[in-house]
Amino acid sequence: MRQYFVFLFLQITLPISIQAAEVTVAVASNFSLPMRKIAQQFELESGHKVRLSFGATGAFYAQIKNGGPFHLLVAADRATPAKLEKEGLGLAGTRFTYAQGKLVLWSRQSGRVDEEGEILKAGHFEKLAIANPKLAPYGVAAMETLHSLKLTEQLKSKFVQGENISQAYQFVETENAQIGFVALSQVFSEGKLLKGSVWIVPPQLYSPIQQDAILLLAGQKNSVAIELMRYLKTDRAKSVMVDYGYSHPIQ
């Protein structure tokens, strides 16, 4: 009889312990909104817990190098995960491109940014928000765009630089900058611009923003991290990405 109750106790408590499993994920700032939604779906379907940290990809690289407690990196570029894989901090064979991002010029004011981006040439603004190109791939794309348009020297005195794309967005949201280069996913949802005015930067003006994820060394024995990696490749996850303006992953 006693063995029966022990067995019954294990049957009740074991699923709870499995469901309590957690994964800690470092997520590039541009992907914060879709990742929150994807993580919520994953938690509901799996019963596991996902802890998300958002920031600049370059800053996460430094943290991971110094032993940051992340199981999975969802980056804003391909170079950083590839570097971590080469250095043995990311597991070989787990890296994949989950999405391709898009750069936009945005103002929270309707009608301020025209559909051709001519406001940049006209210069009718005081401040232009840009993510730090040393840390944030979207900052690199912004600088490449200005270089392609031959406007870098003309506009550099107007730059307001954020550590990551979320800070660049906040500068524009709070109107500390009248316009700024941000990720389409920050101002776009379910096929609609959330507010303000926007110029979707033509892709030929900057290098493709192909974004990779990689399982980190600390996550190699974390079954939830492995499961979440697989989930990012599902149609359910891809559908969320498309809703926020990302292209389908390019392998």
Q: What is the pLDDT of residues 62-105, one digit of tens each?
A: 999 999 999 999 999 999 999 999 999 999 999 999 999 999 99
CA 115, 29, 183: angle at the middle one, nearest 5? Answer: 10
Those residues whose C-beta lies under 8 Å from the C-beta of residue 189, and which sit 6 or more positions away, are 33, 243, 244
Whether residue 215 sits in one domain with residue 195: no
CATH number at residue 70: 3.40.190.10
Structural Rg of the chain based on CA atoms: 21
Query: For residue range 214-244, what is the model confidence (pLDDT) as tens digits?
Result: 999 999 999 999 999 999 999 999 999 999 9
Query: For residue range 44-54, what is the model confidence (pLDDT) as tens digits?
Result: 999 999 999 99
Whether residue 171 sits in one domain with residue 199: yes
Is position 249 within any domain? no
Is position 114 within any domain? yes
N- to C-terminal Cα separation, the chain = 57
pLDDT for residue 7 is more than 90? no
Whether residue 214 sits in one domain with residue 91: yes
Is position 8 within any domain? yes
Whether residue 85 sits in one domain with residue 23: yes
Number of domains present in the structure of the chain: 2
Is position 250 within any domain? no
Those residues whose C-beta lies under 8 Å from the C-beta of residue 245, and which sit 6 or more positions away, are 102, 184, 185, 188
Whether residue 129 sits in one domain with residue 111: yes
- Domain boundaries, position 168: 102-205
Is position 251 within any domain? no
Percent of the chain at pLDDT > 70 equals 91
What is residue 248's predicted lDDT score, i.e. its pLDDT? 72
pLDDT for residue 8 is more than 60? no
Q: Are 28 and 57 in contact (CB under 8 A)?
A: yes
Reported pTM: 0.81
Token pair 């800690």 in the structure block, residue: 24
